[in-house]
Chains A and B, each alone.
Chain A
């Protein structure tokens, strides 16, 4: 593309030849980049989904009554998703800044902590929030006069969404912020810009791709929210996904479910196209400059302290209910229960290792842990292998990518229950193959991996690459010294997403369930399905195990971040 043709006929011909050879190799490269991700999506997503929709969709369901229902539900779905996304940004952006710019004690742990909710089953999160904010929760115990109701309100839904998704903003925007040169801010300031202007005119525009990518992920998660709406929102609120679930499993009306699924898919497609348009207009190429410092000025110290405490409180308070409940029997709050002993106990943990009822479906905790870790590791490898080529192609978009880009996000915006049915009618008995589980998890993880890698790849300065190669660096050396330092950070963030998504995923595991391969979330669900203090305690113990495991895994993954920069 930068060929010059000033040396006569032969040169011109040669460069013409070069151009066509270049475009052929370009196309070959594009095909190579896309073939595996697209085949994967075709087999696991497009084919089963179109098959089930073709089977269940019926134009006769397009009655005014149904359309009215769909419209009402869509309105609330959008409303809560937009509100949730804005609130998540409100907490996420300063947090991303905190982690990207400052060094403080306990930073690694706090960063890991913010990712923990991402994999916790909704039942467990609901239990945590109830223990804190419920009618007999901690807050109520401290302020007995407050008679506010948390569970069953829109507030509960919004807070839970922020709780779940803030980590997306922290990780995706945080990565971009860490490679933003603080000299730019300093320059703007020395030219007289105040903090607001520095953010508004300098930082936000530079962060645009990662801001859009992460907001889009958060928005889609909120848009297709299901467990949070059902469990914390009570019965008054309903999103498209909840309605689809109801029509498929409870009030069987598959054609109405299909109609709602199609609407949900179309919306996702529209959002994704808008997103692609917005992103394509802004690519910022930046040199990586790891710049983290201990807070120096008073303002900085105040900011770091306030936000670190705020984040710790917000994430730790609901989560701490789980280990607490797994180790303590609750106080006797009334008479009559004298014979029951209260206080500290490790029984719930020891009991995990006993198959007291000799059940076929007993889940040994070690096996559940091993299964969960195996699935999660396989998901990481699979989604990174598939995500890298796609992200590379998307980072330097041609016309092909403009078309493919929005399609990548569709798995996040389609109904999991509907897709599950598609799996069943398409793959039937194959569904019992345990290795399908990481494939299903990868379907959810892939959009995350791609959207995390894509802005990072796009931000690699082309001029640095060109300079390096013109100075005689081999492609490998270019990759090692320029691409790799930027991508390492993004790759680790992507791996963390894939890992936590797989650890906490529950639906696919159930869909492809064979009792021989239970995961930890499946085990939690089993305990909670029967009455009795021991069952509740064991569910909490299992959830604590899951939390610890995630925390340890994230810390381990993040240990690999930039070991040379002395970040740790």
Chain B
């Protein structure tokens, strides 16, 4: 026992977590290591860096150098709190409204927007950067939630499967219930997955009150339902590394681009593509807001700067390859892989956030009654 204890104590002593708040750029040694070391000479004159806490979901990602640029410019230290998926993050923010865990919240999307606004967790902020952004994305007139990015939930298909079987690729929602596509589609449960919910909303937008009849038909045509995107994509979808049984999956319009970027060895053509027919995809817009309670003027000023920064060209151009979403800032240039392999629908389905907030639970229940029972 003693030896064991000693071993553990040694282990503990040897490896207490050695992370720093801002992970250092992990560049190859050739790339001027001095650049990443905080300039020690500047320290005596400047004040302590001010800490800004940003609460966000697990899918959030950003480049180190981009964050560092913001930190250097504002003598700030940015701490990211990743707190689960978008729904979990919002719930936590609402529960801690009186003593907020963070200054800024990023990641509320249009399916949750009304809930966030009703709970009144954001302070309005009219960022100058908003002027350039299309009105299509500004869903909150009082600017409590500011749009940052958008993306489309679309059906991806396995190109090889359809070529090999000599099968025409379905063009829209109506096609999916045709017998030739029986048992070919896997989707996420809207009750457990935001991707699945977006697909359900696309059918609600397209079919209106008769959407349950459509789902009955889709169920009869063998739609496979799984808990979440990871299972759908990696376990069930045939064109992913999981090599599953279904050649069609509810995923994102940008997924084919990711398949190229994360291919090993590199490939020149995406193994998947999206079905882009009218109203087949659902558009998700993600918002950022300053949390109420970040009341200190100094903190609020820094939070505003961060929001401006998220809408700036630098951050907006970094986003596509980090999170596989589109920038709302029209000046941001898209990376090559995006223009080549990511596909945007001719017209994505949209629903009013208030309508979604009011009916979300009822729609999910109706869907569950038809598809799962």
Give residues 331-350 of A contacting B (CB, 8 Å): 333-337, 339-341, 345, 347-348
Pair B15/A358 contact, Cβ less than 8 Å: no
- Interface mask (B74-87 → A, CB under 8 Å = 1, otherwise 0): 00000111111101
A530 to B234, CA, bound (A): 10
- Identify which of A126, A253, A334, A516 contacts B160 (C-beta below 8 A): A334
> In chain B, what residue has the closest Cβ to A130?
B235
| B251: interface (CB < 8 Å) | yes
User: A517 and B263: CB pair below 8 A?
Assistant: no
Q: List 29 A-B contacts (CB under 8 A).
A: A127-B235, A127-B242, A130-B244, A135-B245, A234-B225, A234-B226, A235-B189, A235-B192, A249-B91, A251-B360, A330-B241, A330-B243, A355-B64, A360-B80, A364-B26, A367-B18, A374-B16, A424-B95, A424-B96, A431-B101, A432-B79, A528-B234, A531-B258, A531-B259, A533-B241, A534-B264, A535-B262, A537-B241, A537-B264
CB distance from B115 to the nearest CB of A (A): 7
Known: A377-B8, A533-B241. A334 touches B164 (CB 8 A): yes
Chain B residue, CB-CB nearest to A429: B101
Q: Are B160 and A531 in contact (CB under 8 A)?
A: no
- A515 x B80 contact (CB < 8 A): yes
Quick one: closest B residue to A336, CB to CB?
Answer: B160
- Judge whether B99 and A428 touch: CB under 8 Å: yes
Q: Do residues B264 and A345 form an inter-chain contact, with CB atoms below 8 A? A: yes
Name the residue in A152, A234, A246, A359 with the highest tally of chain B Cβ atoms < 10 Å from its Cβ: A359
Distance from B336 Cβ to chain A, minimum over Cβ atoms (Å): 15
- Complex formed: what's the CA distance from A533 to B4 in Å? 41
Cβ of A123: which chain B residues have Cβ within 8 Å of it? 230-231
A360-B64, A370-B18 known; A531-B81 Cβ under 8 A: no
A434 to B15 Cα, complex, angstroms: 14
Besides A230-B228, A357-B61, A516-B19, 13 other CB < 8 A contacts?
A: A235-B225, A249-B88, A251-B364, A345-B264, A359-B64, A360-B63, A361-B80, A374-B12, A377-B12, A381-B5, A428-B101, A431-B101, A534-B264
Contact of A136 among B244, B267, B322 (CB under 8 A): B244
- Assess the B8–A536 pair: CB atoms within 8 A: no
CB of B111, distance to nearest CB on chain A (Å): 11
Across the interface, A234 reaches (CB within 8 A) one of B95, B164, B227, namely B227
Instruction: Select from chain B the residue with minimum beta-carbon distance to A251.
Output: B361
Smallest CB-CB separation from B262: which chain A residue?
Answer: A532
The reply on B1 being an interface residue by CB < 8 A is yes
Closest 8 CB pairs of A and B: A532-B262, A536-B241, A516-B19, A336-B160, A534-B262, A135-B245, A355-B26, A531-B258
Using A230-B192, A335-B164 as known contacts, say yes or no to A491 and B1 having CB atoms under 8 A apart: yes
- Using a Cβ–Cβ cut-off of 8 Å, how many residues does chain A contribute to the interface with B? 87
Residues of B within 8 A of A526 (CB): 58
What's the least CB distance linking A368 to chain B, in Å? 10
| Closest residue of B by beta carbon distance from A517 | B17
CB contact list, A485-510 vs B, under 8 A:
488, 491-492, 495, 510
Chain A nearest CB, measured from B20 CB (Å): 7
Please tell me if the beta carbons of A250 and B87 are within 8 angstroms of each other in the complex.
Answer: yes
Which of A152, A337, A492, A534 has most B Cβ within 10 Å?
A: A534
Query: Which residues on the B side are within 8 Å of A535 (C-beta)?
Result: 258, 262
Measured CB to CB, the closest approach of chain A to B23, in angstroms, equals 6
Measured CA separation A378–B95 after assembly (Å): 30
Tell whether, in the assembled complex, residue B227 and residue A235 are in contact, meaning their CB atoms are under 8 Å apart: yes
Tell me whether A189 is interfacial, beta carbon within 8 Å.
no
Q: Are B58 and A530 in contact (CB under 8 A)?
A: no
Q: Mark B153-174, 1 if CB is under 8 A from A, else 0.
A: 0000001110110000000000
Q: Is B321 an interface residue (CB 8 A)?
A: yes
The reply to whether B23 and A358 contact each other, CB–CB distance below 8 Å, is no
The residues of B that contact A495 with a CB separation of less than 8 Å are 4
Q: Which residues of A contact B21 (CB under 8 A)?
A: 516
Q: B4 near A374 (CB under 8 angstroms)?
A: no
On A, residues with C-beta under 8 Å from B are: 123, 126-127, 130, 134-136, 151-152, 230-231, 234-236, 246, 248-253, 325, 329-330, 333-337, 339-341, 345, 347-348, 351, 355, 357-362, 364, 367, 370-371, 373-374, 377-378, 380-381, 421, 424-425, 428-429, 431-432, 434, 484, 488, 491-492, 495, 510-511, 513-517, 525-526, 528-537, 557, 560
Given contacts A127-B234, A536-B234, contact A351 B245 (CB under 8 A): no
With A378-B12, A516-B21 already in contact, the answer to whether A249 and B230 are too (CB < 8 A) is no
Chain B interface bracket (under 10, 10 to 19, 20 to 34, 35 or more): 35 or more
User: In whole angstroms, how far apart are the Cα atoms of A248 and B191 in the complex?
Assistant: 11
B92 part of interface (Cβ distance < 8 Å): yes
Interface flag for B240 (CB, 8 Å): yes
Contact at A432–B81, with CB atoms within 8 Å?
yes
Tell me how far the C-beta of A372 lies from the nearest C-beta in chain B, rounded to whole angstroms: 10
Given A513-B82, A531-B251, A533-B264: A360 and B23 interface contact (C-beta under 8 Å): yes
Say how far A105's CB is from chain B's closest CB, in angstroms. 26
Give Cα A392 to B351, complex, Å.
Answer: 62
Q: How far is the CB of A124 from chain B (nearest CB, A)?
A: 11
Complex partner residue of B82 from A235, A515, A528, CB under 8 angstroms: A515
Q: Which residues of B contact A231 (CB under 8 A)?
A: 227, 231
- Please state if B11 and A377 are interface contacts (CB–CB under 8 Å): yes
Q: Are B80 and A373 in contact, with the CB atoms below 8 A?
A: no
Which residue from B23, B95, B242, B321 sits with its C-beta under 8 Å from A536?
A: B242
Quote the shortest CB–CB distance from A408 to chain B (angstroms).
Answer: 23
- Tell whether, in the assembled complex, residue B259 and residue A533 are in contact, meaning their CB atoms are under 8 Å apart: yes
* CB neighbours of B233 from chain A (8 A): 531
Q: Is A348 a contact partner of B65 (Cβ separation < 8 A)?
A: no
Query: Which residues on the B side are within 8 Å of A234 (C-beta)?
Result: 225-227
**Complex Cα distance A463/B340, Å?**
81
B235 to A336, Cβ gap below 8 A? no
Quick one: given A339-B267, A516-B19, are A357 and B58 in contact (CB under 8 Å)?
no
Q: Is B3 part of the binding interface, using a Cβ–Cβ cutoff of 8 Å? A: yes
B265 close to chain A: CB less than 8 A: yes
Q: Which residues of the other chain, B, contact A525 by a CB distance below 8 angstroms?
A: 58
Q: A358-B65, A531-B240 are in contact. Are A513 and B81 (CB under 8 A)?
A: yes
In the complex, the answer to whether A371 meets B17 with C-beta atoms within 8 Å is yes
Contacts of B268 in A (CB 8 A): 339
